Amino acid sequence: MEKSNSRERLGAAALMMMTFSAVFAFPSIINNSIQIGLATIPAYIFGSVFYFLPFILMIAEFASANSGKESGVHSWLECVLGPKWAFLGAWTYFFVNLFFFCSLLPQTLIYGSYAFVGRNVFTGDNGTRIIAIISVVLFWLATYVCVKGVSWISKVTGFAGSARLLMGVVFVILAFIVVFGFGEAPAQEFTMESITPKFNWTFFMTMAWVLQAVGGGESIGVYIKDVKGGNKTFVKIMVLSTIVVGVMYVLGAVAVGLVVPSEVLSGNFSNGIFDIFKILAGKFGIPNGVIVRLVGLILFLGSLGSLALWTAAPVKVFFSEIPEGVFGKWLVKTNEEGNPTNALFVQGIVVTILLVIPALGIGNMDSFLEMLINMTVATSLLPVLFLIAAYIGLRWKKDKMQRDFKFGSRTFGIVAGIFLMVVFLFVFFMSTVPEPTLMKQALDGTLPAGTANPIGTLAYNIVGLVIFVGVAWICWNRYEKKQKTIK
């Protein structure tokens, strides 16, 4: 009993702030607004209510069922699906980060360009190739830093993360002041027609972006044992957090519509966030050069912190969780800092390939970034699919497993799991397969200049998925054969 009490050290306010910090990302509001405009508002409401809340409670149930362990994705999957699928699920979390770097690196450089020069220098016909090459150099530099081990990384990440969070909140407040305080007319017209989604390919593809934006429940559910007041308090705070996160995302989307004309947003992935802050700053007499440098610096430091953190951390966690012998000794070899140096080296090679291939075939920077963002989001849904499948299995076949918390009755849990599975499979398909109209244009030779070739994008997505999952499958099967031989 004393041990349990010693773990209960997280208060309600701390848990809510942790949840908000982990989930709320203002740049995602901009990207989604660029894609679907004011339809972002109902999209965020749907994502918060029908994904974020149920998923985080499912994760809390997994954590409760594995109370004797320091819960993580691998242990959650293993307790239901067995070691093989636990390995494959953990592997998807690992390789999703490889695609994450592909969107993070170019954006980091654009942020840095605004921070130090005051504008985006990566323009022109060769912009995508130049930014891809420098991104590769930056990633190898980050890999070198992580191999050596640097203690100040967490401080940079913490400061920039807080500043980025504050930046989004301040934008929302000031945007509302402009319209409701200064009496200016909204930049976009708010009507039922403009807010109602157009249920087309672009909207459903963007729903994957929305679901990813309100994701992160697996990083919060593990703290159910640390909350003062136990399970009941945790559930109450998660319900309240869902409301807060959902409301902030909705207010953010509304704020963008209040001060930013739709034509400024359209297709503007490379400069969108800076253009909206320039518009807002102009309302308060703040010079453009000052605001873009400040926003650029905040985003640049935050992205550098994310890059430093995620370059090594997932690799260390993954290779510490999987059974010894799945990969060869060379790959899992660590240095005195505990970093698997050879695995980081291989990771660098893979990220280099993933960045260079699309850059060679896309001339337009915004199309390049849109493809990288969509590719990152699509792959980020895969680990969630494993967890949802495991949750359905938990409630269906192992509902008697000892745990202090359950997400509703057995039937309710199964239905909720199946619902999320259907939603995720659908948006995964829509985000992986390019719009048929674009594919027809590519075949007819009428594809607009600078647009990513949808057939190449489809092949890139599918081949990449098959290769990465295939490698994991082969490695595990070899490991199983070795184990049988030993026995």
Summarize pLDDT for 131-174 with one digit per residue, the tens: 999 999 999 998 888 776 655 555 665 666 677 788 888 999 99
Dist. CA 371–CA 148, nearest whole Å? 33
Asked if residue 388 lies in contact with residue 407, where contact means CB atoms within 8 angstroms, the answer is no
Contacts of 294 (CB under 8 A, 6+ apart): none
Element (H, E) at 52: none
pTM: 0.86
Host H or E run for residue 85 = helix 83-116
C-alpha to C-alpha distance for 173 and 150, rounded to whole angstroms = 37
Lowest mean pLDDT among 137-146, 273-282, 328-337, 402-411: 328-337
- Averaged pLDDT for residues 88-95: 87
Q: How many CA atoms lie within 13 A of 253 on its CB side?
A: 28
Where residue 229 falls (left for φ over 0; alpha for ψ -120 to 50; beta otherwise) is left
Q: Which CATH number fits domain 2-486: 3.10.129.10, 3.40.220.10, 2.60.40.1120, 1.20.1740.10?
A: 1.20.1740.10
The pLDDT of residue 108 is: 93
| Closest C-alpha to 212, from 376, 16, 60, 457 | 376
Q: How far is 213 from 236, CA to CA, in rounded Å?
A: 22
The chain-wide mean pLDDT, for the chain, equals: 85
Q: Where would I find the H helices in 37-82?
A: 40-47, 53-65, 73-81
Q: Helix %, strand %, coil % for the chain, to 5?
A: 80, 0, 20
Check the CA dihedral 355-359-362-365 and report its sign: positive
Least confident range from 29-33, 105-109, 415-419, 451-455: namely 451-455
Higher pLDDT pick, 339 / 54: 54
**CA 455 from centre of chain:** 25
Candidate from 132-146, 211-225, 339-353, 442-456 with smallest mean pLDDT: 211-225
The single-letter DSSP state of residue 229 is: T
pLDDT for res 67: 66
In the chain, the amino acid numbered 72 is G
Looking at the predicted structure, is the pLDDT value of residue 403 above 70? yes
- Distance between terminal CA atoms of the chain? 40
Over residues 229-239, mean pLDDT:
78
For 146, the 3-state DSSP assignment is: helix
Structure tokens at 236: 């109450």
Mean pLDDT, to the nearest integer, of 352-367? 77
Residue 2 binned pLDDT confidence (cut-offs 50, 70, 90): very low
CB atoms within 10 A of CB 465: 17
| Average pLDDT rounded to a whole number, residues 265-275 | 90
Confidence bin at 372 (pLDDT 50/70/90): confident
Q: Is the pLDDT of residue 343 over 80?
A: yes
Residue 486 is encoded by which pair of tokens? 């030993």
Residue that wins the pLDDT comparison between 475 and 360: 475
Question: Mean pLDDT over residues 179-198, rounded?
Answer: 94
Residue 46 has pLDDT above 90, yes or no: yes
pLDDT on residue 154? 55
CA 407 to chain centre: 25
Find tokens 């699920």 and name the residue.
Answer: 89
The H or E element spanning position 422 is helix 410-432
Q: Which residue has the higher pLDDT, 228 or 44?
A: 44
Q: What is the mean pLDDT of residues 8-32?
A: 79
Identity of the residue numbered 129: R
Q: How far apart are CA 282 and CA 261, in angstroms?
A: 14
234: helix, strand or coil: helix
Quickly state the pLDDT bin for 184 (edges 50, 70, 90): very high
Residue 137 identity = V
**Where is pLDDT greater, at 7 or 11?**
11
For residue 3, pLDDT beyond 50: no
Position with higher pLDDT, 270 vs 394? 394
> Is the pLDDT higher at 260 or at 231?
260
Percent of the chain scoring above 70 in pLDDT: 90
